[in-house]
Structure 1
């Protein structure tokens, strides 16, 4: 993968995720203020189920299509056939299971909500292969168009419904419209693949796909939904609304990392498997760049949570404040490591290792969540974050095995980000202490001072990393690279 191709892919992938997430976040804020925590929580309970079962629409074949060096002309169509068949089956299962899920969550309204959501599983299945093939060819511009257009249409319709008094149905309308428009735009862009019945060729990728699928289920479905499931089941819809709002903020850097960086890096890393030194360099650079962006940003969210929630979402969402502050750390760490480690494992064909790590992540995360459950949503947040921290050394061990990165290198890679994050959070808290009882003023002034402090620390103490970020920004903007010195490998960074 050439540097211009990687930069272009990263740029358009970033535009896609930033545009989509910014649009969704803005409409989520508006809807949260209009419909309130109780209605918000009802849909959150339904989305726990949808979030878990949606992982089944992709049986791992999309990752196999991206990872393979060569893909036959009819293989994508065969994958489409499987995806659509599974989507139809899951929609039917959802209709049948709706009363059971409503009873499990002690929320009768969930029956009709889940029946309404059932078709979305088919729509999501229809987009799996087009997205995978666009990722394979690094054509992220079309993904950006589809993602932003669908998020915008869904948000507008949801907002209109909320303003007309639709309550939680406004959120249902938003999500369904987003899924439908995404399919329509992919078809309009000519990226859809015609289904076929040449399913025997899928045997070639079935092993890799199966293990990737299992790992994805554990990492992206079970470990990331068990907390929402338990909070919604044992503490109710309103408690889940507060936790879900905080979790939504956690997912912003994770989605930016996993969808923007990890998606591009998986495709790029798959072309570097014959050059371990180059792969190690790219893993280090990606980790450092994500850390220098994610850690200070989430430290600022954690510090500003009292004012941020009050100003943006309203006083009715105040119970979410401590949950936001705690989950911010988990969001930063997941964005940093899952965005780089998972692509490295899969690109090197280490799908068995990926599956073992997924099992470990699920186990540790579940233990942390269950331990915190008696203490309410805040306890669950603490348990989830503690589990994320515990898994960091495991990530380091995996990366050492894959590309030869040492603990010393890992610490040096994120050290500047931790330093900047401390100054950012400290600066904000100092300003907030000087402007008590004025949330809007404290938020505005505090954020401005924190950003200036972070830039100042970068310029004074970490000039090299600031230069590297500047060069990366130039490449992403298509303006060419600067003169930042390339990474130099230390003697102890050789592959093991």
Structure 2
């Protein structure tokens, strides 16, 4: 018996040592802050579900989706380039990136205000024009700290990033709950996202010493934009897929149906999506550190996949299995209709982080074009599936989301892994 206990102890010690890595610690910081964020979001979601109507949720979904389609151009590969570039180029690229970000973000603000009018016409709701324009104010704050945020990621200082996100988003959730109780309806979701933006800028800039030097410059913009083209293409396709179901339901069904679906998506995928985002943020610098050593590169990547599986799969299965019990108790009986959608969307989270890891693997070896090609193929398949699924209302759309992710993403993960390590 004593020998068996010793063997178990040795096995556990070996496993813990395998998990003790910068990647796990960074995911731990991001995941830990994400857990606290999810607690605050859960409380906010409970209050919003009690005080907002399905129509309020539907209107907010259109506003946030419109904003997300503009904000995707902020994920243009500049941050990835600063993380990936050689040390001798970092100073010059950082200076150029700062001014490039300002030029792009100011332009995007005006674009968001202009597109609010055709969006309102398309969805036959002029009340969303003002909130879409107001959401654009965020774009005028982000450039002040974006280079510092990239450098923090490059240096592996995810503790700062995690604490910043926790403070910002938790404050957002608390304000949403307060404004919902105050009866602001859709604005309870929109306004806090503007009010908390300065928090992110202040904490990020305070925790990194980098500051722009000299005058405005366009030097190295070609390098930054050239590298970022494929990265931006992937982000555009990711954003399209992330919001395409909202757009289709809002257009072909109703705002009430969109409200139910939007609630189910956030309640079902909220926790898992936070962890998935954390994994994606931490993995690229973790892989770039050892990309010159193929065996170590492969070992680090495969170990990361194992860690992801240990975290994501049990969490998703537990949440999906408990959904029929906690939805009516926690959120109220008016959201029972959202339960099947919630379960299907929740289960679709299982293959997502593995495919995201494969994408980061391709970025680490400077092959963003391959990632772009895959995302283009997957987006076409996904769109076709959604257009078929919408004939069966929200549940049909959720089923299409689940099946396309379950079938397509594992295929891509295996293909990308074999492509990169074919000579290992």
Q: Is the 8 Å Cα contact of residues 223 and 365 (structure 1) preserved in structure 2?
A: yes
- Find the partner of 1:52 among 45, 69, 86: 69
Tell me how far 1:393 sits from its aligned partner: 1.6
Assess, with a 3 A threshold, how the Cα gap between structure 1 residues 364 and 110 changes in structure 2: closer, same or farther. same
Q: Is the 8 Å Cα contact of residues 234 and 372 (structure 2) preserved in structure 1?
A: yes
- Find the partner of 1:85 among 90, 100, 103: 103
2:348 maps to 330
Tell me how far 1:119 sits from its aligned partner: 0.5
Assess, with a 3 A threshold, how the Cα gap between structure 1 residues 124 and 37 changes in structure 2: closer, same or farther. farther
Per-residue CA deviations over 1:273-303 (Å, capped at 9, x if unaligned) read 1222222222222222222322222222222
Tell me how far 1:321 sits from its aligned partner: 0.5
In structure 2, how many angstroms separate the alpha carbons of the residues matched to 1:35 and 1:130? 37
SS, match of residue 331 in structure 1? coil
Alignment of 1:415-494 (within 5 A): none
Alignment of 1:174-189 (within 5 A): 174-189=192-207
Q: Is the 8 Å Cα contact of residues 247 and 327 (structure 1) preserved in structure 2?
A: yes
Assess, with a 3 A threshold, how the Cα gap between structure 1 residues 333 and 314 changes in structure 2: closer, same or farther. same
Alignment of 1:190-209 (within 5 A): 190=208, 193-194=211-212, 196-209=215-228
In structure 2, how many angstroms separate the alpha carbons of the residues matched to 1:128 and 1:61? 9
Q: Is the 8 Å Cα contact of residues 80 and 193 (structure 1) preserved in structure 2?
A: no
Q: Is the 8 Å Cα contact of residues 30 and 275 (structure 2) preserved in structure 1?
A: no
Query: Which range moved further: 337-346 or 154-163?
Result: 154-163
2:313 maps to 295
- Find the partner of 1:24 among 26, 41, 63: 41
Alignment of 1:236-275 (within 5 A): 236-248=254-266, 249-257=268-276, 259-275=277-293
Tell me how large the CA RMSD over aligned residues is: 2.2
In structure 1, how many angstroms separate the alpha carbons of the residues matched to 2:146 and 2:251? 30
1:15 maps to 32
Q: Is the 8 Å Cα contact of residues 106 and 233 (structure 1) preserved in structure 2?
A: no
In structure 1, how many angstroms separate the alpha carbons of the residues matched to 2:348 and 2:228? 28
- Find the partner of 2:183 among 151, 161, 165: 165
After TM superposition, the score normalised by the length of structure 1 is 0.76
In structure 1, how many angstroms separate the alpha carbons of the residues matched to 2:254 and 2:149? 36
1:132 maps to 150
Q: Is the 8 Å Cα contact of residues 46 and 114 (structure 1) preserved in structure 2?
A: yes
Alignment of 1:95-110 (within 5 A): 95-110=113-128
Assess, with a 3 A threshold, how the Cα gap between structure 1 residues 124 and 20 changes in structure 2: closer, same or farther. farther
Are 2:396 and 1:370 aligned?
A: no
Tell me how far 1:377 sits from its aligned partner: 1.2
Q: Is the 8 Å Cα contact of residues 22 and 286 (structure 2) preserved in structure 1?
A: no
1:315 maps to 333
Query: Which range moved further: 236-245 or 124-133?
Result: 124-133
In structure 1, how many angstroms separate the alpha carbons of the residues matched to 2:323 and 2:255? 22
1:360 maps to 377
In structure 2, how many angstroms separate the alpha carbons of the residues matched to 1:134 and 1:41? 36
Q: Is the 8 Å Cα contact of residues 23 and 148 (structure 1) preserved in structure 2?
A: no
In structure 2, how many angstroms separate the alpha carbons of the residues matched to 1:387 and 1:172? 31
Q: Is the 8 Å Cα contact of residues 172 and 192 (structure 2) preserved in structure 1?
A: yes
SS, match of residue 254 in structure 2? helix
In structure 2, how many angstroms separate the alpha carbons of the residues matched to 1:117 and 1:192? 28
Assess, with a 3 A threshold, how the Cα gap between structure 1 residues 4 and 308 changes in structure 2: closer, same or farther. same
Tell me how far 1:69 sits from its aligned partner: 2.5
1:344 maps to 361
Q: Is the 8 Å Cα contact of residues 46 and 330 (structure 2) preserved in structure 1?
A: yes
Q: Which has the higher contact order (CA 8 A, sep 6+)?
A: 2
1:67 maps to 84
Q: Is the 8 Å Cα contact of residues 57 and 263 (structure 2) preserved in structure 1?
A: no
Q: Is the 8 Å Cα contact of residues 6 and 268 (structure 1) preserved in structure 2?
A: yes
Tell me how far 1:3 sits from its aligned partner: 6.4
Q: Is the 8 Å Cα contact of residues 76 and 193 (structure 1) preserved in structure 2?
A: no
SS, match of residue 130 in structure 1? helix
Q: Is the 8 Å Cα contact of residues 20 and 148 (structure 1) preserved in structure 2?
A: yes
Are 2:241 and 1:223 aligned?
A: yes
Aligned length: 402
List, as ranges, runs of 4+ consecutive aligned residues in structure 1 with deviation greater than 6 Å. none
Assess, with a 3 A threshold, how the Cα gap between structure 1 residues 20 and 80 changes in structure 2: closer, same or farther. farther
1:280 maps to 298
Q: Is the 8 Å Cα contact of residues 272 and 312 (structure 2) preserved in structure 1?
A: yes
In structure 1, how many angstroms separate the alpha carbons of the residues matched to 2:143 and 2:261? 28
In structure 2, how many angstroms separate the alpha carbons of the residues matched to 1:111 and 1:286? 43
After TM superposition, the score normalised by the length of structure 2 is 0.88
1:383 maps to 400
In structure 2, how many angstroms separate the alpha carbons of the residues matched to 1:115 and 1:352? 33
In structure 2, how many angstroms separate the alpha carbons of the residues matched to 1:254 and 1:156? 20
Q: Is the 8 Å Cα contact of residues 57 and 124 (structure 1) preserved in structure 2?
A: no
Assess, with a 3 A threshold, how the Cα gap between structure 1 residues 11 and 300 changes in structure 2: closer, same or farther. closer
